[in-house]
Structure 1
Amino acid sequence: MLQFLYQNCTSHDWFESWDHQSSIISIRRGLDQAVFPVGAACHQQLANAAQLLNAEVCFLMTTPLISELVRMTPPNIYQLSFEADLQIQIRRSLDDLQYAKKNQSAAFLRSTGQLLLWNDDIQSIVPMALRLEDAIVKHISLTVPDEVLSRDLSTEKDEKNMGTTNVADYQDLNRPVQLLLPVMVFSTILLNFLILTLATRSIVYSSVRTGTWYRFVFLVYFPFAFFLTSFFSLMLVVIVVNFVGPVSQLFQNSKYYSCIPPTRITRDFPHITIQCPVYKEDLEDVIVPTVQSLRKAISTYERQGGTASIFINDDGLQLVSPQQREMRKAYYAMNDIGWVARPGHGKNGFFRAGRFKKASNMNFAMDISLKVEGKLELVQRGETWTDIDEDHVYKQTVEAVIAEELERTGHQAWSAGNIRMGDLILLIDSDTRVPLDCFLDAASEFHHSPQVAIIQHQSGVMQVVFDFWENTITYFTQCIYFSLQCATASGDTAAFVGHNAFLRWSAMQEVSNYDETSGKTQWWSENHVSEDFEMSLKLQSKGNIEQHVKHTGLTLIGYTSRYATYSNEGFEEGVSLTCYDELLRWSKYAYGCSELVFNPFSKWLKKGPFTDIFQSFVQSDLNSYSKFTMISYIGTYYAIALWPMLILNYFVVGWYLYFSSQGFAFYNEGFGIFLTVVLVFNIISPISCAASRYRARNMSFWRSLYDNFKWSVPLCIFLGGLSMHLSYALIAHMCDLNIQWGATAKTLEAQSFFVELPKIWHTFKYVYLTIFLLVVMQVYFACFAAPLDRIWGITANGPLIWVLVMHAFAPLILNPNAYPSEWSSALRPYILAATSRFVAFFKTPQRDSSGYRALRA
């Protein structure tokens, strides 16, 4: 391999000025480095450099052109810019690479006049060298070297860049606020009032006819009904807009929406920290691919002139086996990853706060980082201060902070690498892929928009197993993101989903609070399951600040969030690999929405039914139509969870004659609502969605229509089996029941049906017990009750039967983890044999009894 690479480089004259005495190529061989030529006197210097850079391959390009370029570069220049996205650092020598931008993959060596290139992929090193050589030749041929490297030209470029930035700022300030969503919300409210007015008319008619007025007590239910039906009414309006509404807003930037990349800045690049909370995810299958994707993006950003670092909040490092722990530490060190790991829950009395633990994990790591930063600000740095001094002080500071925390709390935290926070934070999950060139656009947009605190990127889906369940959730996730795109482009406030989003670190510090009890600063709410939703509300709300500080101790800043689609779904996220994880995810969302809006029953006497943050949200200056869409979104979880209403509907419709005689004929039976929901969501909505995606140039109409109807069946089963799980989550919050959530599975292990069946029973046994009791109830009232009390008919039994059947079969039908592969492999020989005999039977002229016996066999 060394010989091949040497010949390839020689053919391009990259060793033209080589002295044939020193090493010029190094390739990793196990834990060592193989260098060429083998007998060179200073081969160890290049091998050490390759090990320090953690590179698979590196070589020294030695040409007169590069030597002359380095010679003409003034000593006070530490980086050369060749293209907008190609900047190369200048280091003193091979011994001066400890603090180099390692992801830049190239560095000029001032002492020897050489260009050092390195890469993790041997096949990529030569194309990268060709690009650099072309850029250098073009750069020198188009400019006068002395002027290129002079400070006068740098000043001139800065002035031009400042002008460009000002134009971009002006364009950003003039982003329009789209008004389509306010019209849609107004239409939804009118439709809701129309529905409630018709119900009120029925109540008035029944009261006048019977001469009694107690039915007006049902008007108390109307605000809750308005809350529950808002999303359905909004969907009806969306269907109409999808067919005949405007679509131009999808192709232009607006206040909360970015589909066109910003004008790129060319100086003052902010440092970006990629924050990734992890638990016990597999290192090789989950974390390594994510880090590889991040390193490629960091390499691009560093060549553009910026810097970035990876900060992993490893909540499982102190819990895994010693072998796995050392493997993780070694991998983090090899890839320049900073990390913090806290003790396990209950270890020496340590308490991991929160039901989901993610927020407290990030808070713990960020608090360590903030304390390190505070101590570093006190360090006096002289004129002779070097990178070596900074690194030495940094390591001492980290050790001091860890020791102080151990002495103060008695709990041992672990940390290594660069854990300092940058100006911007990219928050990702452990199973994420990022675009190759995404950091500079984010830095530019934050620079042009100082009022923006969150840029949420539209994400694609990174599939793992490609079974029908993952394909279903992939389709559903893509539909959700497309809906978010349409809503934000129409004027809605951008959603923050908690990952694949850039956040402004200064804005997060403004909404942080110091917990006197724990002695730690908190950014993410440890008292809420939906910490991302809570963070979004804190950053965006703007109202009576003094009142909010009085009630919650938090400050409302009034930042905005933005939804970006110009990455073309280059950000990718994993989805739930099992229906268990997806059910838990929906339950967590329902619980999170409930705790953001309502206090538990035990706190109603002291604090009232609504939480302080929800009251502040309602009273804030946030757009009223955005408040409506958020409240409508929250209402969907309550609407789905109301399966007990089907029991009430069962008796009311079953005994309709009795209730009608009592003047309750205004009641709208559930079967009609059921048919309406099926018609809207399973027939009309797929057609409407296909039309919308076609008009948005997202997908062809017929392809989209095919996908919509194809995946509507499993989604219908899943959503039909969701109600009991959401109701338990809502009840758990309101009644202060203990409920916990862990991290979702990132990898899937093959199981057998007989292993999966006990798991299904263990997970859903109370659901099946409820189903059994309700079926017994229906059988009793259908067959054994008194004749006048018997309940027959599809209108009374249909909705409840539908929900029970979906809950019973969803864990089985939507579980491709075990039985389909096992049963298909077991039955495949018999199916093939029967098929071959069936074909042979019709090909045989004599259809004797043996043929029939073979067919039966």
Structure 2
Amino acid sequence: MDYDRNDALLHWLFRQTQGDAWFRPNEESISSGVALRVSDAAHSGTPEFRVFPYEEASLEPFETAVAALNPVVAVKVRSAAVHAALGEVSADDRYIYVDAETRIQIVDTMLMLPQADREQCAAFIRDERVMVIWSESIDRIVPLCQDFEERLIKLLWRSRPVIAAFSSAESRAPSLYRVHGGVVKGVFGELGRDPEGYDVVLGRERGVALDEKSGRGSERVAKRTWYGKKYYVSTAGSESHELAESDEKRPVKLYAPAYNGLAAGLALVFVGNGVRTLLMEWRLDGDFTRFALLACSPFLYCVSLFFAMQIVQNISMAIGPIAHFHRNSKYYSAVKPKANKVVDNNLPHITIQMPVYKESLEAVLAPSIRSLKKAMQTYARQGGTSTIFINDDGLRLLPAAERDERLAFYANHNIGWVARPKHDDSQDGFKRAGRFKKASNMNYALMLSLKMEKHLENLLANPSQVTSRDSSERALGMAIEEMWEESGRRWRPWAANGRATRVGEFVLIVDSDTIVPEDCLRDAAREMNESPTVAIIQHESDVLQVAHHYFENGIAYFTKRINKCISIGKSFTCANGEVAPFVGHNAFLRWKAIQDAAFLDPADGKMKIWSESNVSEDFDMALRLMLKGYIIRWATYSDGGFKEGVSLSVDDELNRWQKYSYGCNELLFNPIKDWWRKGPIARQIHKFLWCKAPLHYKISMMAYMFSYYGIAGAITISLINYVLLGFQFPVDGYFMHSFEIWLATTVVFWGSGTVGYTLLEYRLGVKSLLGALFENLIWIPFFFFGGLAIPLTQAILAHLFSYNMQWAATKKEVERSNFFKEIPKIAKRFWFPLLFSFVVLAGIVILATPLVPLEYRVDGTGWAVILPLAMTCGCHILFPIVLNPWLMVFSY
């Protein structure tokens, strides 16, 4: 017989996983074995498996079941530990608790294995007294088998009968195997029905197979007093800590109302000081015309609001209370939810929704899905079910080879997906609505899923017409046909895997470049159950780095600092009692609440979940949920387990800032062409200001949005300041000089902001004082974000004047470049800011020389007039150069 590489792998796997098997193959016609997938379904129609030992008739059911389950590799184990464990269960048991956090399913026969929960990666077979273990990676199958063997031995050892001589009462060991007769309402929550035996049977009572105390030692947690002294507190383990904390009610913290109120009052003082100047001048000369300057007061108040909040925040970080950072409150979760027997025995189905475009499968999508699969496996072994639902907007745009590779990957990993037709600019072509397409992509996929649910309900009303095996697939096919008919038979959706395209009770929405913690799904289910009014749990995200050059390192530091400030001390002071933001990814959504907040889109008359007409669809969703009485919560107990990708280039980072500024202007103002019909103020901000959201939240949100106007106005204000003061035009005392503004922002944002954040990290025990100070200081030179003023102005004006401004898709993977490639890119992208800055700097130089008449000369004696404008122009020139790491690579 000629052996190939697959045979070599099979032989090796059999030796590694079956070496201790004590049953001979011919005994009771039951044999252990190994199955390996040698070809994908995409290439041959059905996956092909090779089984070892060869030509073993007793392994035919195993081969058939594994082919239907379709893992990469599967092992049939018949060891003493497996045999003994199954020998102690009753006929109606459906699970064995391998340890306190892991329960493995029991199926009656080998041919029922395809109906098992694939994410558990293991199942006991009752009639043969064997265990089947499978994996999506050959590298992990051997450690997985060894791990299960070790756990089963520990289980059997702990559950052994105690010698009767000690005590008759003690001689009865607690039962490790419970009668699990309770059936979940439905794996899909409110939409739950059991069309194909997919709903798992869960126990009403949790069996304990492992002494929990033996697995949890005493822990010492570092804390600090209010003045910063470190001390340690011993806990009995994280589980008892969770139980103690979760018994507390979730109060509304009042620090945020106090801080935001102080900031609003401080901004009013700034404006009032200007009014005081006008009154004093009026008393001197009696000229009323200067009071026309008060028309600027509302704008000055709005722009100064964020500055005032930063002052209050810096003080609160340095000397304010911090104990609430470690406690749960209405809008903030610092401690994991407690164990809940009812929830844990009836864990809901969770759908993981991932909108994707043309990202690399190998470099971007596969690592993210592997991370999600680990979380799904943990959740499955805890008793829950979950699926991945990909909304693929790039599938129909890819070359055939890449498309087939994606489809095979989706099929092999049991992923449900939907792909809509590509965008067509012709009059009758398919239109992908929206500026960034993400919202319309998810709407399209969810619309298909809801249609599928409707057809599934009709199929279940006549169970004789359909078998449980194909109900979801038939319903999906009917939904595809319905959408095709609605389009006049022009645009047929692409979709597959009916089970995974159904939406569960909760939805975890992630980006294509995301890492999630392994044990996050059950925590979300527990917290959602504890708080029925919570619509979104937004998790704090750490940074996922891939390039590790200095630009990505700087953006990573900047992102971490922003996320930490959201948690404890910036505009969205969630721990202080601020309403949590929704940032659109790494968030758990309650599907029922999202459906309650759906709206009728006037553009096409269809019900939509996400707004396709707004750049900031996340804010729009949060606003609609608040109007329905739901709340959003910020969670930090994952301790950085959620990770998100950051901008890999200065070009992507600039796109991000422009999108934010465009979105803020979209929320605040209508385009100028619509002012005669709708007025200048946008309807959405009217809704926000008059909704039932807390007043302090409205203040902080408005401050955040107005901060973009402060950044954008830097170049315009500096230029006006140079002309008015440099040419010595008569200026009222109400006018504040640019140098004074520059000095104030430098001191508040760079100076006291760095000191306050350093002290906060030290007081929380996150870092040492000198370590925190060093890290915060070394990144100060990185912030050449003074070069954002002109690009943000362009984005704001683009919306006001209805200019169709376009941005490229964010790059998710590193693209190697060099000096000679980057120079043309910089010239193409930044030509206007560079041209404007060089012209202005040339004008500053010329006006400082004897080439111009004395009355128009602005020489070095007017340095306070020159410095702000020169620095702003210099930052615009340095921005695309200093922040571009590839300019240092001189390769051909």
Deviation at 1:38, TM superposition (A): 3.4
| Residue segments in structure 1 that go unaligned for 5+ positions in a row | 541-555, 827-857
Which residue number corresponds to residue 685 of structure 2? 614
Which residue number corresponds to residue 754 of structure 1? 820
- Alignment match of 1:122 (pick from 141, 150, 169): 141
- Alignment match of 2:743 (pick from 675, 683, 693): 675
Matches within 5 A, 1:523-602: 523-540=609-626, 556-602=627-673
Contact 1:16 1:62 in 2 (8 A): no
Which residue number corresponds to residue 335 of structure 2? 260
Q: Distance in 1 between matches of 2:651 and 2:581?
A: 25
Matches within 5 A, 1:729-740: 729-740=795-806
More off after superposition, 374-383 vs 106-115: 374-383
Contact 1:363 1:521 in 2 (8 A): no
1:760-800 deviation line (CA, Å, top 9, x unaligned):
11111122222233234434543444321222322111111
Deviation at 1:49, TM superposition (A): 3.8
Which residue number corresponds to residue 741 of structure 1? 807
1:536-589 deviation line (CA, Å, top 9, x unaligned):
11112xxxxxxxxxxxxxxx2021111111111101110000000000001001
1:500-541 deviation line (CA, Å, top 9, x unaligned):
00000000001112346536431111011111111111112x
Residues 1:231 and 2:250 are matched in the alignment: no
Contact 1:9 1:15 in 2 (8 A): no
Q: What secondary structure is seen at the aligned counterpart in 2 of 1:339?
A: strand
1:61-107 deviation line (CA, Å, top 9, x unaligned):
32456446546645554334444421212223332232321110111
Q: Distance in 2 between matches of 1:822 and 1:773?
A: 29
C-alpha spacing 1:147/1:159, structure 2 compared with 1 (3 Å): closer
Residues 1:764 and 2:833 are matched in the alignment: no
C-alpha spacing 1:185/1:78, structure 2 compared with 1 (3 Å): same
Contact 2:544 2:646 in 1 (8 A): yes
- Alignment match of 2:156 (pick from 137, 145, 148): 137
TM normalised by structure 2 equals 0.84
More off after superposition, 80-89 vs 13-22: 13-22
Residues 1:25 and 2:94 are matched in the alignment: no
Deviation at 1:218, TM superposition (A): 1.3
Q: Distance in 1 between matches of 2:248 and 2:676?
A: 46
Residues 1:108 and 2:194 are matched in the alignment: no
C-alpha spacing 1:11/1:23, structure 2 compared with 1 (3 Å): closer
Which residue number corresponds to residue 243 of structure 1? 318
Q: What secondary structure is seen at the aligned counterpart in 1 of 2:115?
A: coil
Q: Look up the equivalent residue of 1:650 and give its one-letter code.
A: Y
Contact 1:600 1:609 in 2 (8 A): yes
Deviation at 1:211, TM superposition (A): 2.0
Deviation at 1:197, TM superposition (A): 1.9
Q: Distance in 2 between matches of 1:23 and 1:159?
A: 31
- Alignment match of 1:804 (pick from 873, 882, 885): 873
Matches within 5 A, 1:11-410: 12=20, 15=23, 19=27, 22-26=30-34, 28=36, 30-31=38-39, 33-63=49-79, 66-67=82-83, 69-70=85-86, 73-119=89-135, 120=137, 121-134=140-153, 136-137=155-156, 140-141=159-160, 148-149=178-179, 157=205, 174-264=249-339, 265-346=343-424, 349-381=429-461, 389-409=467-487, 410=490
More off after superposition, 227-236 vs 514-523: 514-523
Which residue number corresponds to residue 233 of structure 2? none
C-alpha spacing 1:384/1:296, structure 2 compared with 1 (3 Å): farther
C-alpha spacing 1:684/1:98, structure 2 compared with 1 (3 Å): same
Q: Look up the equivalent residue of 1:130 and give its one-letter code.
A: E
More off after superposition, 105-114 vs 45-54: 45-54
Contact 1:25 1:57 in 2 (8 A): no
Contact 2:333 2:636 in 1 (8 A): yes
Matches within 5 A, 1:403-552: 403-409=481-487, 410-417=490-497, 418-486=500-568, 487-515=573-601, 518=604, 520-540=606-626
Contact 1:424 1:503 in 2 (8 A): yes
Deviation at 1:327, TM superposition (A): 0.7
Which residue number corresponds to residue 734 of structure 2? 666
1:296-345 deviation line (CA, Å, top 9, x unaligned):
11000000000000000000011110111111111101101000001111
Q: What secondary structure is seen at the aligned counterpart in 2 of 1:318?
A: helix
Identity %: 35
Deviation at 1:21, TM superposition (A): 5.7
Q: What secondary structure is seen at the aligned counterpart in 2 of 1:340?
A: strand
Q: What secondary structure is seen at the aligned counterpart in 1 of 2:459?
A: coil
Deviation at 1:610, TM superposition (A): 2.0
C-alpha spacing 1:136/1:343, structure 2 compared with 1 (3 Å): same
Which residue number corresponds to residue 782 of structure 2? 714
Q: What secondary structure is seen at the aligned counterpart in 2 of 1:822?
A: coil
Q: Look up the equivalent residue of 2:148 and give its one-letter code.
A: A
C-alpha spacing 1:382/1:158, structure 2 compared with 1 (3 Å): farther
C-alpha spacing 1:169/1:279, structure 2 compared with 1 (3 Å): farther
1:182-234 deviation line (CA, Å, top 9, x unaligned):
22112212221221222112111222222211111111211111110111111
Q: Look up the equivalent residue of 1:767 and give its one-letter code.
A: P
Q: Distance in 2 between matches of 1:328 and 1:156?
A: 40
- Alignment match of 2:762 (pick from 683, 691, 694): 694
1:408-441 deviation line (CA, Å, top 9, x unaligned):
2121210011211111110100000111110000
Q: Distance in 1 between matches of 2:603 and 2:26?
A: 65
Contact 2:71 2:134 in 1 (8 A): yes
Which residue number corresponds to residue 853 of structure 1? none
Q: Distance in 1 between matches of 2:769 and 2:49?
A: 56
| Residue segments in structure 2 that go unaligned for 5+ positions in a row | 1-8, 40-47, 162-172, 184-201, 209-238
Q: How many residues align?
A: 796
Deviation at 1:11, TM superposition (A): 5.9
Q: Look up the equivalent residue of 2:703 and give its one-letter code.
A: S
Q: Distance in 2 between matches of 1:499 and 1:465?
A: 22
Residues 1:653 and 2:725 are matched in the alignment: yes
Calculate the aligned-residue CA RMSD, in Å: 2.8
1:253-306 deviation line (CA, Å, top 9, x unaligned):
111111110013322211111000000000110001111111111000000000
Contact 1:721 1:803 in 2 (8 A): yes
Q: Distance in 1 between matches of 2:761 and 2:462?
A: 60
Deviation at 1:177, TM superposition (A): 1.1
Q: Distance in 1 between matches of 2:632 and 2:580?
A: 5
